[in-house]
Homo-oligomer: A and B are copies of this chain.
């Protein structure tokens, strides 16, 4: 079900109760819609939306006129039920492709999108054989399931590989190891009749987790690729697409059929945030303007229970109020603004030092 306007008697259900859902609710409450959330009732978002435990998915669905998700690796059963009821936006096929990584790769390759060379293997041993024969011992092995934030990935640069790989007894993607000049991403929103995009950002990842990003940077075709992809998927809502850029050419690393970590800057720097545009896009409301303050940056707070409040001199903190602040867990982020890219990068360095000093003291 969709609707062309957003009066206060509509209720949007969000599958997932993490920080992305929190931001959707806080940034879109102004639209006057009500929000239901399916997930863990103890999460911070439940202070701002009506929450249902995962076991209550039937009640959640009955109470929601339109259903979306904050994260594609979420409650798959609820997504399928919502899809069967015709309530899920974006469509379930987007989730299906992301649940097993080879489906996404295959889709992109078959439709002519630029991706790294890859081969599917049925287990670790077969992958190693392929890497020896076809990739000259330089490749990445990625389990097809559960792969996000760098989980289930093995980098192979020579014959000395992690012996764990031989024990992998599930399907994997063997992917060419990409040397890149930088990683980038773009956030776009599409509705039935419109397409808008935000500026391209430079992303710095470590072990599969975004540490920080900044922009706008020079575009190497990211916007055009994103538009083609969104059209091909007949996509509705906000999506993030990540790229490797090498020698002036951008190839898709992966896409996320949802709001994206590399677009957190939009809540401070853009006229309409990626979160509000997601809700406008899935409900086929007119999309909001994406003009953005020059220049922007974002730094993730990973596993720090608190930080020196003086950090606020350099950027705006967004706390997720998680109970569990385990190492590498995303517990908040800091949005940054500057008069130049150099100023933004300088602030990122200062903040990183402030956080690092605190963690080791």
Contacts and interface: CB of A to CB of B under 8 A. Distances in A.
Interface of A: 4-8, 26, 29-32, 34, 47-48, 267-269, 271-272, 276, 280, 285-286, 288-289, 291-293, 306, 309-310, 312-313, 316-319, 321, 332, 335, 337
A299 to B, nearest CB: 15
B289 A309 contact: no
Contact of A312 (B271, B288, B319, B337): B288
A204 B32 CA distance: 26
Nearest to A318: B30
Given A5-B309, A26-B26, 5 more contacts: A29-B47, A34-B47, A285-B312, A288-B312, A289-B337
A32 B271 contact: no
Contacts of A276: 316
A181 to B, nearest CB: 29
Contacts of A47: 29, 34, 48
A103 to B, nearest CB: 35
B26 A312 contact: no
Contacts of A48: 29, 47-48
A280 B272 CA distance: 23
Nearest to A5: B309
A286 B271 contact: no
Contacts of A280: 312
A286 B310 contact: yes
A8 B319 contact: yes
B7 A306 contact: yes
Contacts of A321: 8, 32
Contacts of A31: 317, 319
Given A48-B47, A271-B337, A306-B7, A30 B317 contact: yes
B272 A286 contact: no
Contacts of A313: 286
B316 A32 contact: no
14 contacts: A5-B306, A8-B319, A30-B319, A31-B317, A31-B319, A34-B47, A48-B48, A269-B271, A271-B337, A272-B316, A285-B309, A286-B309, A288-B312, A291-B337
A34 B47 CA distance: 9
Contacts of A306: 5, 7
Given A48-B47, A268-B272, A309-B6, A316 B288 contact: yes
Nearest to A45: B29
Contacts of A30: 26, 267, 316-319
A313 B321 CA distance: 35
Contact of A319 (B32, B267, B272, B317): B32
Given A29-B48, A30-B26, A4 B309 contact: yes
Contacts of A267: 30
A345 B318 CA distance: 33
Contacts of A32: 317, 319, 321, 332
Nearest to A268: B271
Contacts of A317: 30-32
Nearest to A194: B313
